[in-house]
Structure 1
Amino acid sequence: MDFTLSIEENEDFFTNKMITFEKRYILQHYFKNRIKINEVERRILENCHTDEIEPIALIGYLLGDKSPLNIFRLRLGSFFKSDLELAKCCKDLITEKDIKDAEAILFHYEYEENDHIERPIFEYYYKRPKTN
């Protein structure tokens, strides 16, 4: 496999929901090397579909914003047991207030969701452990 470890240069990986390994590998590279994303990469990640918790958490960490959907990504990441460093980093970015505010917006108000991006996040969120 010959590709660069760049989100921007591999946009096709991130827009194709069938590609998982390469997507996760590049996201892990950014996380492990503390690489900051640029605006193009931010747009790509905001529209990235993934059905796996680790990439969801990695995207949340790399985006690092406090949007309600990203709070959900980070909350899911905080439960991720296969990478305790990632779980801690995700947990450190959110507060209980952030979580309550995000839940209020996403669960109680009219929120136009994009099923393609958000359905896996919501499904995992409903199934998450209730403690942590």
Structure 2
Amino acid sequence: MDFTLSIEENEDFFTNKMITFEKRYILQHYFKNRIKINEVERRILENCHTDEIEPIALIGYLLGDKSPLNIFRLRLGSFFKSDLELAKCCKDLITEKDIKEAEAILFHYEYEENDHIERPIFEYYYKRPKTN
């Protein structure tokens, strides 16, 4: 099997939480080349488990939506010092109002988080610097 830089063609990488390098490499390829994701890739990324800040930020950028969880992804990405371009792109996609609304929803006592997808994002979010 040849390795392609496609989220859709490498769905197994994105559904296996143990695979990190290939997942990050493909996400970086999409980001650096400004490749737009299709609906199949969107579904894959929405269900992708990752424990690292860079892939969390890249997924947030590629999804580009204003869902509360994605706002958290983008907020984390805005603090990512290892890739200042990614940090700026993430920061440019969100506002303070977006952040406050996402926090109100996701920090509500009745919100039931998905341990598989959301737990790593929440853990990093709690540890983030308090100013941007």
What TM-score do the two structures reach when normalised by structure 2?
0.98
Superposed displacement of residue 109, structure 1: 4.8
Superposed displacement of residue 108, structure 1: 1.9
Q: 2:122 and 2:108 mapped to 1: Cα distance?
A: 14
Q: 2:38 and 2:112 mapped to 1: Cα distance?
A: 26
State the SS of the aligned residue for 2:116.
helix
1:11-90 correspondence runs (5 A): 11-90=11-90
Which region of structure 1 is more displaced relative to structure 2, 9-18 or 100-109?
A: 100-109
Q: 1:21 and 1:130 mapped to 2: Cα distance?
A: 29
Percentage of identical aligned residues: 99
Q: 1:101 and 1:119 mapped to 2: Cα distance?
A: 19
State the SS of the aligned residue for 1:114.
coil
Q: 1:37 and 1:111 mapped to 2: Cα distance?
A: 28
Q: 1:31 and 1:60 mapped to 2: Cα distance?
A: 11
Q: What residue ranges of structure 1 are gaps of 5+ in the alignment?
A: none
Q: What residue ranges of structure 2 are gaps of 5+ in the alignment?
A: none
Root-mean-square deviation (CA, aligned residues, Å) is: 1.0
State the SS of the aligned residue for 1:115.
coil
Q: 1:79 and 1:2 mapped to 2: Cα distance?
A: 35
Q: 1:74 and 1:109 mapped to 2: Cα distance?
A: 23
State the SS of the aligned residue for 1:69.
helix
Q: 2:26 and 2:110 mapped to 1: Cα distance?
A: 34
Q: 2:48 and 2:28 mapped to 1: Cα distance?
A: 15
Per-residue CA deviations over 1:37-81 (Å, capped at 9, x if unaligned) read 000000000000000000000000000000000000000000000
Q: 1:111 and 1:33 mapped to 2: Cα distance?
A: 36
What TM-score do the two structures reach when normalised by structure 1?
0.98
Q: 2:72 and 2:38 mapped to 1: Cα distance?
A: 22
Superposed displacement of residue 2, structure 1: 4.1
Q: 2:26 and 2:19 mapped to 1: Cα distance?
A: 12
Match of 2:118 in 1: 118
Superposed displacement of residue 112, structure 1: 2.3
Superposed displacement of residue 111, structure 1: 1.7
State the SS of the aligned residue for 1:108.
coil
Per-residue CA deviations over 1:84-129 (Å, capped at 9, x if unaligned) read 0000000000000000000000002522211000000000000000
